[in-house]
Amino acid sequence: MHQPVLIKEVIEFLAPHPGGVYVDGSLGAGGYAEAILEACSPDGRLLGFDIDEESINRVQVRLKTYGERFRCWHAGYHESKAVLETSGVDGVDGIVLDLGLSSDQLEDPGRGFSFKFSSPLDMRFDRTKGKSAEDLLKCLSESDLAKIIYEYGEEPRSRRIAKRLKEATKKGTLTNTQELSDLVMKTVGYKRSKIHPATRVFQALRIAVNDELGNLKKGLEDLPTLLKKQGRLCIVSYHSLEDRLVKLAFKERARQSERWKNLMPRPLRPSVEETRQNPRSRSAKMRVIEAL
């Protein structure tokens, strides 16, 4: 069962109240959404988005008892402003984004997000469109692949890895996540560490496949403009690339206008107890901006 990260802190900063309207831009398993609906009862509303159609289907079942108080769309958070404007929503009281993968996605052998399984090289959040990781490995040049692994995975051995991946792709010996993981491990050598040698490569390919940083930049432009007075945007990120974008966007918005207050110049991290109970939370960082 997926455990929402920093959920107590998210609810504390969003402060959902009766009659309020809130957005969960990354529904996942629905943990934040359910907590918000409970906190803003009896008549507060939650508008949810997720680029993963399977997540939407699961959450609709989980939250059906909330009736018309919950509404959701199969769309990314970066598309939510256009969707809400079309739906007649002119402002919301709070927004939350969790930029990480859900446990459901990681534990699904067919998705290709984890090297625990021998899975197809897919890695798409939205399996109804776009190129898969396998498509990307075939069409990218070796230099472009190395750039992606270096920039998105922060992997210093990106050129060596890209060379081996392209060689294997051409030979037809790179067809699933297990082969990808094994090849990376053979290329860089296995050393005892908390981080598996293939982690950065999987991260880089996933970010590229889903244009995660491009979507985040779009969301950071649009989402704050949806907030009503004293509304807050809470973003939970899991790696330095995301956190850096959020940090700089919030800092710049607060610098340019007194309308905005950056509530967290330094990110909020999970407690020791939370990381013990949910190890996947250990890299999480939360930042919050408020519309004054």
Give the phi and the psi of residue 207 in degrees, each rounded to 5: -60, -45
Share of the chain above pLDDT 90, in %: 85
pLDDT at position 102: 81
Residue that wins the pLDDT comparison between 107 and 51: 51
Domains and CATH numbers, the chain: 7-104+213-291 (3.40.50.150), 113-211 (1.10.150.170)
Tens digits of residue pLDDT in 91-122? 999 999 999 888 788 888 888 888 888 999 99
Q: How far is CA 99 from CA 39, 76, 80, 286, in A?
A: 22, 11, 15, 10
Structure tokens given for 103: 């446990």
pLDDT at 189 over 90: no
pLDDT-derived band at 215, boundaries 50, 70, 90? very high
CB within 8 Å of 208: residues ≥ 6 apart: 136, 148, 152
Contact call for residues 70 and 46 (beta carbons, < 8 A): yes
pLDDT in tens, 151-172: 999 999 999 999 999 999 999 9
pLDDT (mean) for 68-81: 96
Q: Which of 75, 98, 95 is nearest to 86 (CA)?
A: 75
Q: Which residues are registered as beta bridge partners of 23?
A: 47, 95
Averaged pLDDT of the chain: 93
Q: What is the pLDDT of residue 110?
A: 85
> Are the beta carbons of 291 and 227 closer than 8 angstroms?
yes
Give per-residue burial for 115-135: e unless 16+ CB within 10 Å, then b.
bebebbbbbbbeeeeebbbbe
Question: At CA 19, angle to CA 16 and CA 20, rounded to 5?
Answer: 45
**Position 20 confidence tier, pLDDT thresholds 50, 70, 90:** very high
pLDDT value for 193:
64
| Position 1 pLDDT exceeds 60 | no
Q: What is the pLDDT of residue 2?
A: 63
Confidence of residue 196 (pLDDT cuts 50, 70, 90): confident
Give 258-281 pLDDT, tens digit per residue: 999 999 989 999 999 999 998 888
Residue 190 pLDDT greater than 80, yes or no: no
By the 10 Å C-beta count (0-12 exposed, 13-18 middle, 19+ buried), 272 is classed as exposed
Q: What is the pLDDT of residue 191?
A: 66
pTM to 2 decimals? 0.93
Band of the pLDDT at 192, cuts 50, 70, 90?
low
